[in-house]
Amino acid sequence: MQLLREANTPPGTAAAAAVMEVGLLVTRLVRAQAWRHRSSTLSDVQLRTLTLINAYPGCSPSALADYMLLSRPAITRVVDELVARKLVARGPAPRDRRRVALRATASGRRRVEAHLAGARAALAERLAGLSRAERAAVGRAMAILGPRLTPAALGDAGEGDEPAR
């Protein structure tokens, strides 16, 4: 019966499950590091918002709200605070001046880099135990997956690679 179910399973299902499982483990590791090295001046929501704005320069507040599962008024308050702290700049989108585009300032980018450094170090420590060939295989897998998981590949890109909605 198991073989029959596997035969009727769409291609990529097992790979998708594996990617999701590893993605959750990586997220857990990153969040644990973020908690250990949390900022005394930024809330978790502010730091996550800043990190997403840095990853998707030019994204809109509405795309952030959708991605973070927050209301538009809530994300507006978060962005307002980041703008007031000079960590984020707000401006018109290049192709549609009616739309608001968000970008991390140099200070915001430094804050994100400091935030992610601990997570990268913890992940590098875990990957250091792999052989050179295994690390190369991980790199190849990420190079294959990355382009297929970007907002543009998913058909969700708006003005400036926004987080997928």
What's the CATH architecture for 50-149?
Answer: Orthogonal Bundle (1.10)
pLDDT digits (tens, 9 = 90+) for 102-114: 999 999 999 999 8
Burial (Cβ within 10 Å: 0-12, 13-18, ≥19) of residue 157: middle
Closest by CA to 74, choosing from 86, 85, 62, 83, is 62
Contacts by residues 146-150 (CB-CB < 8 Å, ≥ 24 positions apart):
none
DSSP secondary structure letter of residue 1: -
Q: What is the pTM of this model?
A: 0.74
pLDDT digits (tens, 9 = 90+) for 53-90: 999 899 999 989 998 999 999 999 999 999 999 999 99
Strand partners, 53: none
